[in-house]
Amino acid sequence: MDPQNRPPTILRAGFTLLELIGVMAVIAILAAAVLPSAIDLIRTQRAVKEGAELPKIAEALKRGMLREQIFPIYDNAADESTDESTDDNDAYWWNLAARHGGGSANEVRYPLGIRPGSTATRKLYFADANWSEKSFSEVTGDGTSWLDDPLNPKELRLLLVSTTNPDLSLPDDLGSDDEFDAFWNEWAIGSDGDPASGGWTRYGLSSSDWRGRAAELNVQRIDLRDWLCTVVIENRRAIVEASGADLSSALAGALGFWDRGSVSVSYTNLQDAEFIIQSRDTTEDLNQNNSLDLGEDANDNDVLDSGEDLNGNGVWDRDEDLNGNGVLDPGEDLNNNNDLDSDEDLNGNNFFDRTAQIYSYVEAVIQTQRGRRLIQFEDPSALNLVPKPATVTVRGRRASIAESITATLTLTDLAPVSLINPNDAGAFVPLYNSLNDSGSIGNRYFLKTQELLLGEPWPIPNATFLEYPEVGNFIITEAFSTLRFDGLQWHY
């Protein structure tokens, strides 16, 4: 047959069953070699994303704590299969963070790709477990002893730890302070996939589960020590205002006649106080009529008292002739020499007409302004310091003899200062009781945004502390601030 007349040959392409089996075997071998690396890559990528998410959640949690002034519940042991109430408890840390920008509660609590309820989750740990679910006010009290070391308050630390591997689990609690400190101070990933420092048990984790898996563990440190604020509370005492501001009863000896222009008032151990003397000028016989008229007798007793005697000789020898008999009787002569001396007979008319002496007559001593109490001590070198009293003194001359009358002033109580519990407006922790009775300066350590109630320093008599009217709130916003009561008013 002519080759040209043959029918064309039809070409067919395909794999035989044997060829297919061979190809599949090659793919299986390649997959077995590549798949672990691919899984590791996926897990590593998840861990990297988780590492980027934890700081955001930590910031949301810090915002929530600061705004609501409460430490959250960090109970990581809730079994959601039997206890769904944890999702609805606002005090749990994931709900607190969710309320302040962290995302939904599940987004906060569980890493991406982890089913809710899984043991592979984010866990929160406290350096001081006793602070869990307490308000700032409950933790700080009066600010005097809540920190073990105010210069390095290690209690103000939290750890947010997570894993994205569902095969790995985290403990509900760190078993000791050492485990917390190991995470805080030493956690780093070594080149072998284990902790760079110490074994797994040092971090409260099982070495059999976690060996070589350190890259799948994320640790976020939450340091609250930048919240710590030092408040210097200066509380000074003032003098108690007298009834009607009149100190005459305390200075009764200062009332009466003084040599004209010699009397003055002063005070000690006070600053910015003010006292005035109410006095009038007077003589023994203003109109020289030989009689004590109304307004001429200082105490209106119609008797010439010793303080109304010009020369202090115990007799009234002011006028020319006491009995009007025209004779200079004994007692009517200033120096009792039975003669009219030049200063006794001014115009030479043989009568005693010496000019009347003018006195300053003190009627009252008035307190016009409270004074700030100065803290000075009787003996600064003594072990038990005794503060000097605050005093007021009237000085002058009587019959040319110097004299002074001093009264010790009563001091007010220390001004009321109190810590407000933001969760219970009626719960106050008074601070002033812990300051020295003489007034002092004391450092207190509080958390930022806490409030101090400033009370009215002059309450209704016999009122309790809670009845002291509020005059202001001191909100702590700076790392270092001063709250000062100077004895008269608050400064902040």
**Token pair 């003996």 in the structure block, residue:** 379
Q: What pTM was computed for the model?
A: 0.64
How far is 84 from 49, CA to CA, in rounded Å?
Answer: 28
CA 133 to chain centre: 23
Residue 415 CB neighbours (<10 A)? 25
How far is 119 from 484, CA to CA, in rounded Å?
Answer: 52
28-66 residues labelled b (16+ CB within 10 A) or e (exposed):
eeeeeeeeeeeeeeebeebbeebbebbeebbbbbbbbbb
411 in helix, strand or coil? strand
Distances (CA, A) of 371 to 198, 406, 441: 64, 16, 18
- Give the gyration radius of the chain's Cα atoms: 46
Phi-psi region at 330: left, alpha or beta (left = phi > 0; alpha = psi -120 to 50): beta
Which residues are CB-neighbours of 397 under 8 A, at least 6 positions away?
258, 259, 262, 403
Enter the tokens of residue 264.
Answer: 């003055």
Query: Tens-of-pLDDT digits for all 492 residues of the chain?
Result: 565 666 666 555 666 777 777 778 777 776 666 566 655 666 667 767 888 899 999 999 999 999 998 899 888 875 544 444 455 678 899 999 999 999 999 899 998 878 887 777 899 999 988 888 888 888 888 887 888 888 889 999 999 999 888 888 888 888 788 999 999 999 999 989 999 999 999 999 999 999 998 988 999 999 999 899 998 888 887 888 776 789 988 999 998 888 888 999 999 988 888 999 998 887 654 444 545 455 455 555 555 443 344 444 444 444 434 444 545 555 455 556 656 555 555 555 555 554 556 788 888 999 998 888 877 776 767 777 677 888 999 999 987 899 999 999 888 877 878 887 766 766 777 776 555 555 567 788 888 888 888 887 766 666 665 566 788 888 888 888 898 888 788 888
Distances (CA, A) of 71 to 74, 106, 121, 202: 9, 20, 20, 27
List the domain boundaries for the chain: 17-223, 231-237+412-491
Contact by Cβ (8 Å): 238, 488? yes
Eight-class DSSP state of 182: H
